[in-house]
Amino acid sequence: MSLNQNNRSRLVIALTFLAALFLSILPGPESARPFRPDWVTLVLIYWCMATPQRVGVGVGWTVGLILDVLYGSLLGQQALAETLVAFLTLKLHLRMRMFPRWQQAVTVLVLVAISHLVVLWISDLVAHTPVHWSYWTSSIVSMLIWPWLFIILRDVRRRARVS
């Protein structure tokens, strides 16, 4: 292996974000739209919690900006939401590591809901958007998927020895 530990960690983190972005733009039926978890935010929360020295506000902002480009939304909209999520996770990461899994999932629900709220506020400021209850089911699905995603990403982190 010519990659040293540092570069390999970066590569693994980048690949997980790439996978999350890919899942976010995967075309799907209209009826499944409210049940799609917010993959990018979940992966961001995980890395901010597990490796706060590598992934933080800057990475959150960059990933958010890419999401803006892919979604075609106002540039900076998702970026702001992901920045906020990264910041809050960094502030909470020591506590979140100690939480039992279900409590962690609830914290994730709050974080994802906050990011969705920020996006909603901005879209409402720019152009009035009707709010449907199904807008929030995505946060709940994100919460339900968190424990499984956590296990997968932890496994990835241990195998690739990302630190």
Partner 1 sequence: MLSSPGWSLRTPSVLTRFVIFTALSLALMVVDHRGQQLARARAALSVVFYPMEIAATIPARVGVSLAGMFSGKQALREKYDRLAAKQVLLEARLQRYDALRAQNTHLRKLLGSAALVADRAVVARILQVNEEPFTREIIIARGSRDGVRDGQPVIDNHGIMGQVTEVDPEQSRVTLITNPGHAIPVEDVRNGLRTIVFGTGAEDRVAVRYLTAPVDIKVGDLLVSSGIGGTFPFGYPVARVTSIVNDPNEPFLDIHARPIAHLEYNKEVLLIWPVKTPRWPLRRPSTDGLQLPGTSHGH
Q: How far apart are CA 57 and CA 89, in angstroms?
A: 10
Binding partner 1 by CB under 8 A: which of 57, 105, 117, 145?
A: 57
Binding partner 1 by CB under 8 A: which of 20, 64, 107, 115?
A: 64
Strand, helix or coil for residue 38 = coil
Contacts of 54 (CB under 8 A, 6+ apart): 9, 10, 13, 47, 162
Q: Are 45 and 108 in contact (CB under 8 A)?
A: yes
Check binding of 8 to partner 1 (CB under 8 A): no
Q: How far apart are CA 85 and CA 96, in angstroms?
A: 13
Check binding of 100 to partner 1 (CB under 8 A): no
Binding partner 1 by CB under 8 A: which of 8, 10, 76, 156?
A: 76
Q: Are 21 and 63 in contact (CB under 8 A)?
A: yes
Check binding of 151 to partner 1 (CB under 8 A): no
Listed in sequence order, the DSSP H helices in the chain are 5-25, 39-50, 57-71, 77-98, 101-126, 137-159
Binding partner 1 by CB under 8 A: which of 3, 11, 15, 75?
A: 75
Check binding of 130 to partner 1 (CB under 8 A): yes
Query: Cα angle at 24 between 8 and 126, to 5 degrees?
Result: 120
For partner 1, the closer of residues 100 and 132 by Cβ is: 132
For partner 1, the closer of residues 120 and 144 by Cβ is: 120
Q: Which residues bind partner 1 (CB under 8 A)?
A: 18, 21-22, 24-28, 30, 33-34, 36, 53-54, 56-58, 60-61, 64-66, 69-77, 79-80, 83-84, 86-87, 90-91, 122-123, 126-130, 132, 134-135
